[in-house]
Amino acid sequence: MENPAVNTTEKSHKPKKVFMEGPISPAFIADSIAKHSSKTGIGGHSIFLGQVRKDVIGEQTVAAIEYTAYTEMAEEKLHEIREDIFAKYPLTCMHIYHSLGTVPAGEICLFVFTSAAHRKEAIDACTEMVERIKKEAPIWGKEILGDETYVWKKTVDGV
The Cα 92–Cα 23 span in angstroms is 26
Instruction: Give the pLDDT confidence score for residue 157 in this predicted structure.
Output: 45
Cβ pair 115, 42 in contact under 8 A: yes
What CATH code would you report for 19-152? 3.90.1170.40
Instruction: Give the pLDDT confidence score for residue 154 in this predicted structure.
Output: 66
Percentage, residues of the chain above pLDDT 90: 81
How far CA 81 is from CA of 41, 76, 119, 143, in Å, comes to: 24, 9, 20, 26
The distance from CA 54 to its chain's CA centroid, rounded to whole angstroms, is 20
Q: What is the pLDDT of residues 69-82, one digit of tens each?
A: 999 999 999 999 99
Average pLDDT over residues 76-92: 96
The DSSP-derived string for 28-95 is HHHHHHHTTTT-TT--EEEEEEEE----EETTEEEEEEEEEE-HHHHHHHHHHHHHHHHHHS-EEEEE
Q: What is the pLDDT of residues 101-134, one digit of tens each?
A: 999 999 999 999 999 999 999 999 999 999 999 9
Percentage, residues of the chain above pLDDT 70: 89
The Cα 38–Cα 35 span in angstroms is 7
Single-letter code of the amino acid located at 18: V
Instruction: Give the pLDDT confidence score for residue 7 in this predicted structure.
Output: 43
Confidence of residue 12 (pLDDT cuts 50, 70, 90): confident
Q: What is the pLDDT of residues 15-39, one digit of tens each?
A: 788 999 999 999 999 999 999 989 9
Q: What is the pLDDT of residues 130-149, one digit of tens each?
A: 999 999 999 999 999 999 99
Instruction: Give the pLDDT confidence score for residue 72 in this predicted structure.
Output: 94
Domain ranges, ordered by start, for the chain: 19-152
CB atoms closer than 10 angstroms to residue 80: 14
Instruction: Give the pLDDT confidence score for residue 5 in this predicted structure.
Output: 45
Pick the closest to residue 95 from 140, 141, 39, 138 (CA basis).
39
